[in-house]
């Protein structure tokens, strides 16, 4: 009898899911027109600044890190304002806050000048933007597409109930390309917390500005995602609205915000783009490799050789002496722990930095990390955890490639053997490896790699906790004061309970 009821319940649940999918089904993508990248701009400030430089450094990429969060915002705005032919932007999250609205305003200004704008957004990060997107697609020079859109627009998360496995796969890529001449790649989404303002905890992050050979590859990769089966024209999801201007209205409301004055000053003070246009920006011209997941990953499993993690491992090759990595979310799993242990056994020094419990913005992910913490330490890995509040002794200059001080780590980067550095969207966790699509740049740069190694060499005094084993117990050490604590920073009875529960649940593949 119980089995019969269970079978009936499963059948009813399955029927409900089928009905829900048919009622809230997504539009078909057949018959859509897939625009492709425009040729490189041959005129305009970026072209005039870069044509000769690219000729002098044929086959190479010019890179410079964007460490400061406010400047990273300013560079995006100023590049958009310099555009003459095209802007292709691809993001996991784009918030309807001040910086998000200012950047949308810059895209509209560009489109008004005749620039073609293509905006590809993962729909998981578009909350509050439906009206904005409906207005954007009404512009003749703007196209918007949504990656793996949610079936429901109100109470979006309810869509997981009947379309979980598709919606659990997200596009985590971040790129911002202007005129086919300059691009920004890295870990930052678009929102106040990524650009150093707002009431939410700020994120420590890293991008690179690149010109030269790699830009054409970034644009081609954008085209691949733009035309993928997971990308839907936004107008089919949110409609078209020519009658209102939600972006302009929100910008008007922000004029009274004191932060608006601050960001106007940042735009005026930022000299990165002006130096680029004048040919005075100190770009390092070198070889780079773009690594990107196949967008089909959003539809389901793809062959191992098409995964970013596999291509990245092949590109890095044999590691000889040291591997220093920063990952906001570090859930190595059994395979990752073994990889680290094998490196240590071969004499390679492995050091990792991630968020502490007090700094993390996703507690379940910290539980996944905590599950492997002792195993990593026993294998010889050196572990640092970012503090929520930096100590007074932590001078900004000590941050190096970590950027400006902040409350939560969002950086995804690693350096190998003082020769190469990776900057991108990839975290050392199962979600980045198997579920989300990711994008990043492997750069041959002794300068940038050594900068990151130096951050670890100096112990990040005042910025992090050094985690060690004392017997079989974890201790957290403040390198500034020498204070040793056996109580995890940021822990509480409730948080410890949540960690204990999550560590025992079979959810690691979701983290």
Which comes out higher in pLDDT, residue 397 or 12? 397
* pLDDT of 22 over the 70 cut: no
State the pLDDT at residue 454.
92
How sure is the predictor about 2, in pLDDT bands with cuts at 50, 70 and 90? very low
Q: Which of 71, 88, 163, 172 is catalytic?
A: 172
Mean pLDDT of the chain: 88
Select which of 71, 97, 207, 417 is catalytic: 417
- The DSSP annotation for 348-389 comes to -EEEEEEE-TTT-S-HHHHHHHHHHHHHHHHTT-EEEEE-SS
Q: What share of the chain has pLDDT > 90, as a percent?
A: 67
Decide if 412 is catalytic. Answer: yes
Domains and CATH numbers, the chain: 34-277 (3.30.870.10), 296-510 (3.30.870.10)
Residue 98 · residue 260 · CB < 8 Å: yes
Identify the pLDDT of residue 118. Answer: 98
Active site residue 410: yes
pLDDT of residue 398: 46
Catalytic residue among 71, 179, 207, 293: 179
At residue 203, the pLDDT reads 77
Helix axis angle, 258-269 to 69-82, nearest 10°: 70
174 flagged as catalytic: yes
Q: Average of pLDDT values for 333-339?
A: 93
Q: Mind listing the pLDDT tens digit for each residue in 271-289?
A: 899 999 888 899 999 999 9
Whether 58 is catalytic: no
Q: What is the pLDDT of residue 201?
A: 56
* Catalytic member of 88, 412, 429, 453: 412
Query: In the annotation, is 318 catalytic?
Result: no
Percent of the chain residues topping a pLDDT of 70: 90
Q: How far apart are CA 351 and CA 353, in angstroms?
A: 7
d(CA 345, CA 152): 51
pLDDT of residue 199: 60
The pLDDT value recorded for residue 200 is 57
Of 20-34, 84-98, 207-221, where does mean pLDDT reach its minimum?
A: 20-34
Return the pLDDT at 142.
98
Q: Which of 174, 297, 366, 371 is catalytic?
A: 174
């Amino acid at each position: 009898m119980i089995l019969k009821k269970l079978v009936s319940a499963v059948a009813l649940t399955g029927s409900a899911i089928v009905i829900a999918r048919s009622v809230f089904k997504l539009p078909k993508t057949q018959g859509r027109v897939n625009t492709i990248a425009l040729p490189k701009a041959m005129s305009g400030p970026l072209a005039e600044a870069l044509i000769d430089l690219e000729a002098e450094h044929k086959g190479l990429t010019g890179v410079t890190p964007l460490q400061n969060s406010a400047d990273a915002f300013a560079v995006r705005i100023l590049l958009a304002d310099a555009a003459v032919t095209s802007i292709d932007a691809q993001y996991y999250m784009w918030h309807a806050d001040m910086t998000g609205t200012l950047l949308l305003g810059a895209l509209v200004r560009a489109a008004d000048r005749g620039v073609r704008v293509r905006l590809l957004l993962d729909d998981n990060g578009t909350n509050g933007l439906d009206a904005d997107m409906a207005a954007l697609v009404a512009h003749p020079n703007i196209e918007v597409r949504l990656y793996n859109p949610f079936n429901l627009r109100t109470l979006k998360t309810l869509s997981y109930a009947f379309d979980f496995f598709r919606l659990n796969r997200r596009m985590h890529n971040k790129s911002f390309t202007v005129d086919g001449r300059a691009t920004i790649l890295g870990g930052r989404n678009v929102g106040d917390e990524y650009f150093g303002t707002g009431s939410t905890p700020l994120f420590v992050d890293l991008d690179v500005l690149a010109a030269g050979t790699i830009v054409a590859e970034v644009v081609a990769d954008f085209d691949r995602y733009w035309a993928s089966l997971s990308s839907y024209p936004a107008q089919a999801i949110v409609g078209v609205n020519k009658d209102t201007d939600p972006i302009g209205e929100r910008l008007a409301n922000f004029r009274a915000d004191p932060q608006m004055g601050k960001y106007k000053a940042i735009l005026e003070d930022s000299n990165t783009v002006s130096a680029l246009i004048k040919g005075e920006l100190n770009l390092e011209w070198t070889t780079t490799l773009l690594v990107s997941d196949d967008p089909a990953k959003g539809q389901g499993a793809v062959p191992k050789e098409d995964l970013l993690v596999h291509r990245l491992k092949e590109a890095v090759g044999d590691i000889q002496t040291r591997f220093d990595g920063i990952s906001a979310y570090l859930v190595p799993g059994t395979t990752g722990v073994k990889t680290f242990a094998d490196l240590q056994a071969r004499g390679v020094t492995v050091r990792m930095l991630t968020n502490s419990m007090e700094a993390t913005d996703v507690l379940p992910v910290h539980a996944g990390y905590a599950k492997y913490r002792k195993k990593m330490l026993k294998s010889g890995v050196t572990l640092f955890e970012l503090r929520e509040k930096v100590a007074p002794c932590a001078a900004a200059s000590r941050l190096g490639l970590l950027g400006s001080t902040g409350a939560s780590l969002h950086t995804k980067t690693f350096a190998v053997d003082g020769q190469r550095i990776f900057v991108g969207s990839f975290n050392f966790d199962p979600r980045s490896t198997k579920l989300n699509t990711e994008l990043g740049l492997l750069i041959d740069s002794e300068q940038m790699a050594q900068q990151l190694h130096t951050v670890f060499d100096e112990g990040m005094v005042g910025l992090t906790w050094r985690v060690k084993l004392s017997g079989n117990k974890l201790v957290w050490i403040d390198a500034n004061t020498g204070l040793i604590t056996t109580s995890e920073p940021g822990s509480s009875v409730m948080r410890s309970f949540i960690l204990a529960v999550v560590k025992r649940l079979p959810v690691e593949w979701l983290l």
